[in-house]
Amino acid sequence: MIYRLTLLDMFRALLDLILPRVCVVCGKRLPLKREHICEACLDDLPRTYYSKMPRNPMSARLNSHILGPVAYSQATALFFYRASTGYREITKSLKYRGAHATGRFFAGMLAAELAASPLYSDVDAVVPVPLHWSRKWSRGYNQAEVIGKEIADALGATLSPDALRRRRRTRTQTRLSIEGKAANVSGAFTPGDVSGLSGKTHVLLVDDVFTTGATAGACVKTLRESLPPVTRISVATLSCVEG
């Protein structure tokens, strides 16, 4: 066994020479035993710790989109999305460069935080924010589903990737105002196959990045239509834009 591990280490070292593994944040080469992120960047990860706060700036933004007499939705993210830093590469590499292993690594960190929080440890169903089928087809995967699967596995919850459907392909949100984003996603989602949510008490909506909360808000509102009022709906994302 020891011999095999050593051989694997040697193979990996050789592979590192040909194709160096680098830190997703700073781009520096990683030592043999590290993966995805270097020690310094991990130490400096701008974590939100919102999983410990029932109300926080992210949940305030989310609930501003969910009007009506419904229960307050909790929200948390692993770290702050800052466009000026390398940390944005964590979600970008998953979304645009197919870095599934990196995505799963950080989703695992988020999952561990959720499992340790009394506010989220009772989550029994996970719903990823869907992509429009044509976008999923061209990209080959839904990044929110990659994150959602990791969280569902860690919490022992059901993954319901088809509970929501994206009715139309929304425009890229990047250049839209807050009002523009809300209008862009309003009516974009419709209930899908919600059979996996029957009898569930705490549903977690999962996405990669949380910006204005318009997308998550539209999803929570749509999920609410097919769930009894006692079912709680919360939101968790890898990163959250500050503000």
Positions in the binding site for Zn ion (CB under 5 A)? 23, 25-26, 38, 41
- The CA distance from 159 to 161, in Å, is 6
**Closer residue to Zn ion in complex, CB, 46/196:** 46
Shortest spacing between CB 24 and Zn ion, in angstroms: 8
CB of 233 to Zn ion, least distance (A): 35
Q: Give whichever of 26 and 115 is closer to Zn ion, judged by the CB atom.
A: 26
d(Cα 185, Cα 207) in Å, to the nearest integer? 15
d(Cα 99, Cα 93) in Å, to the nearest integer? 5
What minimum distance in Å lies between the beta carbon of 36 and Zn ion?
9
Compare residues 39 and 193 and give the one whose CB is closer to Zn ion.
39
d(CA 206, CA 60): 17
Do the bridges between strand 164-166 and strand 189-191 make them parallel or antiparallel, or are there none, so unpaired? antiparallel
Between CA 77 and CA 85 the distance in angstroms is 17
Q: Is 128 helix (H, G, I), strand (E, B) or coil?
A: strand
The answer to whether residues 26 and 12 touch, using CB atoms and an 8 Å cutoff, is: no
- Taking the least distance from each CB to Zn ion, the nearer of 21 and 100 is 21
- Taking a C-beta distance cutoff of 8 angstroms, is the pair 216, 67 a contact? no
Minimum distance, C-beta of residue 31 to Zn ion, in the bound complex (Å): 11
Tokens encoding 87? 């940390």
For the CB of residue 97, give the shortest distance to Zn ion in the complex, in Å.
17
